[in-house]
Structure 1
Amino acid sequence: MRILHLAPPADAHNGIADYARHWRDAMQGSGAELVCPPLDAGLPPLLEALDQHRIEWIHAELGGGRVAEFEALRQLRQLRPELGFGATVHDPERLIWRAAQLPGSLAWLAACPGPMPQLAGLLDHRRVLRMERRLARQLDALVCMTRRGSEALARRMQLAAGLSYTIAHGNISVPPRPLPPGPLRLLYFGYIYPGKGIEDLLQALAGLRAKGGDQAMSVRLTLAGGTAPDIAFGARGSYVQSLRQQIHRHQLDHVVDWQTDVPGTEIIELIQAHHVMVLPYRESRKLAWLGQMRSTSGALAWATACGRGAIVSDARAFAEEISHGNGCQFRHRDPADLQRRLETLTAQPSLAGEWARHAGQLAVERQWPRIAEQYMTTFTQALQRRHHD
């Protein structure tokens, strides 16, 4: 199958770009021919690629606050409706959540201070939702990585039966490695910016240590991941610096390690040097006005690939992802609940081994070649259904 892939540039600092790179490699390994033109040159190069490579299927990665892929997919669907069209929706229950540009009647609010830009986005969301639904109903297959995400997307987009699919986040094949010896080592891994709940993790760790006990006092935490300026810095200054101040305030300087901007070649070694990954994500209160985000996490896929369990918040669709015996959950924005999970783990350190074993089993099921096969089957069936109709 010849596929035109609409995705963020390979050098983008976000999880969707990381996913897209692995997806392309896996699809090519399954026999598909992938064409991945840049989107910044507009529509003409895309149309040229369709004819030059005799494209059969156009597939987009949607989410992460980007709209270029959405717009390209929408325009190509209008111009070449005879082709197959699909998307992996990374942030269901919506496709893009916000438009690239506000209509003229609201555009002036974007330049105002304070909450006015957010208000403009809220006032515009019904128009954006109509755009999302219109395109979603014109596609042949919409893929989410969790069942909960697929159900939420189908419900919000008002999709006909058979258009929404669930294909888990793939992971690379990683040789298993035993848990490290010594005290419990926790790892936060992912892009470091507000909304990930790292503050809650620090507070929970401080509470754990305040209770005392040899096991609790020996726990260490590593904060690792990307800190690109566009996500770690903003109008309020450096988010990383604010975390360092919180660490100092909680008297955690000697038990928290930093490993920022981790090279891709070192990710496996980093994760496997720890016992458990902790992802304390928070539900966005701002996005709650627009819908419910039911996505998963590339970091969690890395934990699975490396044979490590995870403690996750109940935000997004994380509960579904650790329902295989590979971890536990706590209430998001609730450091006390997270602290209780850490207390249980320190009291029963064998849990880390049980979670790791189940994660390793899940990793085999989700290796990228298997995921690519599921995508190929989905695309083939969608094209057959289209030709039959």
Structure 2
Amino acid sequence: MKARIMVVGSGWQFTSGISYYTCRLSNELAKEHAVAAVLMRRLVPRQVYPGRARVGVPVNSALDYAAGIPVYDGVDWHWGGSLLKALRFLREFRPQVVVFQWWTGAVLHSYNVLAAQARRLGARVVFEFHEVQDTGEVRVPLVRHYVRRGLPRLLRQCDGFVVHSEFDRKALHDAYRLPEVPTAVVPHGPYDHHRGVPRPARRSGAPIRLLYFGTIRPYKGLEDLVAAFEMLRSRRTRDFRLKVVGETWEQWDLPLEMIRRSPHADGVQVINRYVDDREVTAAFAQADIVVLPYRRSSSSGPLHIAMAHGLPTVVTAVGGLVEATRDYAGAVLVEPDDPVALAEGIVAATTLIGRTFADARSWDDTRQAMRSLLSGFGLVPGAPIAAPAGS
């Protein structure tokens, strides 16, 4: 029996990893249910957005909403007529379940109104968490307090939660007293839409190509990788090259300044912008090892792209990343905030070069988790109810 599900999340105007996830989730759920999507279009005033230069610039060519999914794009932070149209869209679709993607406090005021409307229409409200709160927002006291005061009111309207790891589930319970409703812990689905370009054959004695991919922010730890790279090059035992692909956020210029001053800068290529899908695919296809030196993280889109490509990946043992890589044989975990450990992890990963590893993650897990929640709501038969939060 098909359920009517509406997914609410990030659109393509302010493209981010959540934009891709919202689209992938909608497409995957549409394989079993009737699905519609409401997108958050303009998240904040453009001048305060870290990626302001690319707002509205098309970067996605590998992914789109499947035919048959009605999409409303979308709701602006200042509302105007955009919210009224979204409410009308919601009334016309008449969802039985609305799944909200949570990643930023910028959508809190809009989500409050949409969730209230959904409940008035008799729909169940499910919140899917990608992190408790954006790290940049946490550093702004006014924004941090706004979310900490406003989010619990919204969570009390929820009938279920989805998190990507036990780490996230505990973090949420530590931050908020969640209501006792079904909670599904389901791994992040694979980002296999960037696959397709075959990896070029390695020449004997060719340099080892390291890839850092993602925004450049304080918690991402790129400066640790730059320091580790200098150690590896100084040893002169292997020829390492580093490619950095990422957009600077929060004015975090330290890693790029370190590269500019480095005596090994000739071995580093920097693409300091948000790249389009073709460039993403090419970057991973050309890499020998992906290195993700996070100092904290709930989940990581670049990690899921790397695993979808089957690449050896050196990643720090923080947050939900330990669980995300648990069944991935190509992962080398190291301690965070430790360039020496990172360098040794890269050396260990060189023994894995040339192998393609199976990604243990599947969107089947996500669909099964949704079946479980829907069964608990009495909307589909045959799936066990998810365990209550905190059980």
SS in 1 for 2:94: coil
Question: 86, 100, 115: which one pairs with 1:77?
Answer: 115
Per mean C-alpha deviation after superposition, the further-off stretch among 20-29 and 54-63 is: 20-29
Per mean C-alpha deviation after superposition, the further-off stretch among 31-40 and 129-138 is: 129-138
| Alpha-carbon distance in structure 2 between the residues aligned to 1:281 and 1:45 | 40
SS in 1 for 2:10: coil
Identify the residue that residue 351 of structure 1 maps to in structure 2: 352
| Alpha-carbon distance in structure 2 between the residues aligned to 1:233 and 1:149 | 24
Residues 165 and 323 in structure 2, CA contact (< 8 A), matched pair in contact too: yes
Identify the residue that residue 221 of structure 2 maps to in structure 1: 197
Question: 326, 330, 334: which one pairs with 2:330?
Answer: 326
Structure 2 counterpart of 1:343, one-letter code: V
Unaligned runs of 5+ in 2: 39-71, 386-391
- Shift in CA distance, 196/96, structure 1 to aligned 2, threshold 3 Å: closer
Instruction: Tell whether 2:120 aligns with 1:67.
Output: no
TM-score by length of 2: 0.74
| Alpha-carbon distance in structure 1 between the residues aligned to 2:102 and 2:135 | 7
| Alpha-carbon distance in structure 1 between the residues aligned to 2:176 and 2:110 | 19
Question: By how many angstroms is 1:299 displaced?
Answer: 0.6
Question: By how many angstroms is 1:17 displaced?
Answer: 1.6
Identify the residue that residue 292 of structure 2 maps to in structure 1: 279
Identify the residue that residue 140 of structure 1 maps to in structure 2: 159
SS in 1 for 2:226: helix
Identify the residue that residue 317 of structure 1 maps to in structure 2: 320
- Shift in CA distance, 314/96, structure 1 to aligned 2, threshold 3 Å: closer
SS in 2 for 1:61: strand
SS in 2 for 1:251: coil
User: Which has the bigger relative contact order, CA under 8 A and spacing at least 6?
Assistant: 1
Identify the residue that residue 268 of structure 2 maps to in structure 1: 256
Residues 216 and 249 in structure 2, CA contact (< 8 A), matched pair in contact too: yes
| Alpha-carbon distance in structure 2 between the residues aligned to 1:296 and 1:278 | 15
Structure 2 counterpart of 1:169, one-letter code: H
For each residue in 1:163-185, what CA deviation from the matched residue of structure 2 results, as whole angstroms up to 9, or x when unmatched?
A: 22122222226459567413321
TM-score by length of 1: 0.75
| Equivalent residues in 2 for 1:149-298, closer than 5 Å | 149-160=168-179, 162-171=181-190, 172=192, 174=195, 177=198, 180-181=201-202, 182-213=206-237, 215=238, 218-225=239-246, 227=247, 231-232=248-249, 234=251, 239=253, 243-259=255-271, 260-283=273-296, 295-298=298-301
Give the RMSD, CA atoms, in angstroms: 3.2
Please identify which structure carries the higher helix content: 1
Question: By how many angstroms is 1:329 displaced?
Answer: 1.9
| Alpha-carbon distance in structure 2 between the residues aligned to 1:272 and 1:76 | 41
Residues 141 and 382 in structure 1, CA contact (< 8 A), matched pair in contact too: no
Residues 331 and 338 in structure 1, CA contact (< 8 A), matched pair in contact too: yes
Query: What is the aligned length?
Result: 333
Structure 2 counterpart of 1:265, one-letter code: R
Structure 2 counterpart of 1:189, one-letter code: F
Identify the residue that residue 75 of structure 2 maps to in structure 1: 39
Question: By how many angstroms is 1:32 displaced?
Answer: 2.6
Residues 176 and 306 in structure 1, CA contact (< 8 A), matched pair in contact too: no
| Alpha-carbon distance in structure 1 between the residues aligned to 2:244 and 2:287 | 11
Identity of aligned pairs, percent?
22
- Shift in CA distance, 22/199, structure 1 to aligned 2, threshold 3 Å: same
| Alpha-carbon distance in structure 2 between the residues aligned to 1:97 and 1:244 | 19
Structure 1 counterpart of 2:98, one-letter code: I
| Alpha-carbon distance in structure 2 between the residues aligned to 1:159 and 1:66 | 17
Identify the residue that residue 288 of structure 1 maps to in structure 2: none
| Alpha-carbon distance in structure 2 between the residues aligned to 1:6 and 1:24 | 9
Instruction: Tell whether 2:384 aligns with 1:381.
Output: no
Unaligned runs of 5+ in 1: 100-116, 284-293
Structure 2 counterpart of 1:76, one-letter code: L
Question: By how many angstroms is 1:339 displaced?
Answer: 1.7
